[in-house]
Amino acid sequence: MKKKNIATFLTALAVGANTALCVSAEKKTEYKVRTALVSSDLGVQSWDDATISEGQNTLTFTTPKDGKGNYSVFKGISMLTIDLEDCYFDIGTVSVDSIVVDGKPLNFKTDAIVYGADDGADNNDFRIELFNSFGETKNDPPFDASSVTVNEKVEVTFTFSTEGYSGGTRRIGGNVIEKKKTSNPQALKGCSVSLNRHKDDGSASPDEEVTCTVSGSQFYADVERGYYDVTISKPGYATRKIENVPAGKSMPAELKDVDLRVYGDVNGDGKINVTDITLVAAYVKQVRLFAEDYQFNVADCTHDNKVNVSDITSIAAAVKGIKKIK
């Protein structure tokens, strides 16, 4: 065989070997999980860590052993949960396939299991709540936990994917106020509030818009777990859009007291005066930027998506009482 042909053959062989190596080295994404099994009297608890992959998994909850090496007997369960760590907004469809107690299948209501339950902690964990006497399954339990006796172990088989969705609706909401920058902020009633699924490119489809229920200055909506853009508006006030707000285990802090301002009240003190003129003039002259993006909306008194001399003139006219800002 000629040297050139040998070199070509060896090169092709090496490429093939490398390709085979890459294929064989491909792995599924792994997720860390923590399981919890607690007796009805809270006196005996079993907490374990494990690693799982997307697809079907079986986790074993084992009762702890006593000083003599015997398994503790659970006469009744107060808690049976699975926490997938740091993936709350990544998990798609989830289904519990079976619950087996000491080798015997346990009958349960599949639709009563709570996926993405609130675990009471400020984290990004996704909880599969099979039962929790202090949780969301308390009033509608998937099974009669008080009658379950565990002599050694509970085996839970479940399937999950990052595609699709399981988890029901989560409540997202907040409160709207005005004059936030003063010592006496006030509730602002009569606002319109809507939500859109957050998209990285900033686009929004009217078909995907969710209108919130508004009561006084408070608002809320029940939506699928995820991230949303919240738009709050009222005639005479600059519209505020808060992007990428999580709808999940708890009410988002970003919506606790949303500050809405009338056009011209750039600093948010509840007044339109010389201070506001100064702030806008400094921005137009490029001497100083606004402290927050929302101030741009408040300063755009001519509603042309620009902040320029025309807006300074409008605010000045309002301060002098010549013409109100619409």
Residue 28: its pLDDT value, please? 67
Reported as a single tens digit per residue, the pLDDT across 160-202 is 999 999 988 999 999 999 999 899 999 999 999 999 999 877 7
- Cβ–Cβ < 8 Å for 130, 82: yes
| CATH annotation of 169-259 | 2.60.40.1120
Reported as a single tens digit per residue, the pLDDT across 222-253 is 999 999 999 999 999 999 999 999 998 888 99
- Cβ–Cβ < 8 Å for 33, 82: yes
Average predicted confidence (pLDDT) for the chain: 90
- Cβ–Cβ < 8 Å for 176, 260: yes
Angle ∠(104,48,163) on CA atoms, nearest 5: 80
Q: Is the dihedral of CA 299, 304, 309, 311 positive or negative?
A: negative
Residue 24: its pLDDT value, please? 40
Query: Edge to edge, what strands does the sheet with 192-197 contain?
Result: 210-211, 192-197, 226-233, 240-247
Q: Within 10 Å of residue 86's Cβ, how many Cβ atoms?
A: 11
Task: Calculate the CA 151 to chain-centre distance.
Answer: 38
Which of 16-30, 46-60, 259-273 bottoms out in mean pLDDT, i.e. has the lowest? 16-30
The helix or strand, by DSSP H or E, that contains position 79, with its residue range, turns out to be strand 77-84
Q: Which residues contact 174 (CB under 8 A, 6 or more apart)?
A: 218, 219, 220, 230, 251, 252, 254, 255, 256, 257, 258
Q: Give the whole-angstrom CA distance, residue 170 versus residue 193.
A: 17
Phi, psi of 254 (to 5 degrees): -60, -20
Instruction: For CATH 2.60.40.1120, list the domain ranges present in the chain.
Output: 169-259
Q: Give the whole-angstrom CA distance, residue 248 versus residue 65.
A: 37
For domain 30-160, give the fold.
Answer: Immunoglobulin-like (2.60.40)
* Percent with pLDDT over 70 in the chain: 90
> Does the pLDDT of residue 12 top 70, yes or no?
no
